[in-house]
Every structure is written in C-alpha cells, then in structure tokens.
Amino acid sequence: MEISIKIASREYDQLRTRIPNDSAGREALEHATRIDYSLGGVLFEGYTFVCDEYEARGLQETAARYCPEIVPKIQEAIRLAKSAGHKIPTPH
C-alpha cells in the first residue's frame, strides 16, 4: 500500500531532525519533494513524500514523541490509502 503524506516545511524540518537514521521512515523523508502552491489565496509551502505503511508507522512513532501535531496528518494519510485500496473497481 502506497501512502502519500503532505506536511508543512516547519513540520518536515522537525521530523527530519528527530527521526533516527535507522528508522523505517527515514528514507522516505530523504526522498521528499518540496511543494509550493496557492489555493484560494493561501500559500502552502511544504513537502510531500510516499512511503509504505511500515515506514508511515515509524514516522508516526517519532512524531508522537517529538512533534505530535504531525500525527493526525500521518494517520489521515494511512486511512485514505487504506480506503482507496478497498474500493471496488468499476467495469469499463
């Protein structure tokens, strides 16, 4: 299952400085893509990255200790990925 997580620049920096080098999610963070866009006049500056559930759980564990405001975003990304995986394909 592929999980896409989007977090603000400040959150990314917090998580990246706290996650251990041997953590499951470290590599996913290292491959994050910087994104900047405006939606309805509100500028979003942050990062997006893709990981599997094991890596997401490792990121969530680190976030719970050092930057708990990120935990709901990780949980929501996992939930969305799981619900997308359970959709029944429609015939063409």
CA distances from residue 84 to 16, 41, 49, 57, 89 in whole angstroms, order as listed:
27, 29, 17, 18, 10
The predicted-structure confidence for 39-78, as pLDDT tens digits, reads as follows 787 778 899 999 999 999 999 999 999 999 999 999 999 9
Give me the pLDDT at residue 92, please. Answer: 46
Contact 11, 66 (CB under 8 A): no
Triad 15, 17, 23: Cα angle to 5°: 70
Residue 7, token pair as written in the block? 């977090």
More confident: 85 or 20? 20
Contact 49, 28 (CB under 8 A): yes
The predicted-structure confidence for 4-45, as pLDDT tens digits, reads as follows 999 999 999 999 999 999 988 999 999 999 998 877 877 788
Give me the pLDDT at residue 62, please. Answer: 94
Contact 50, 1 (CB under 8 A): no
Give me the pLDDT at residue 86, please. Answer: 52
Share of the chain above pLDDT 70, in %: 92
pTM of the predicted model as reported, rounded to 2 decimal places = 0.82
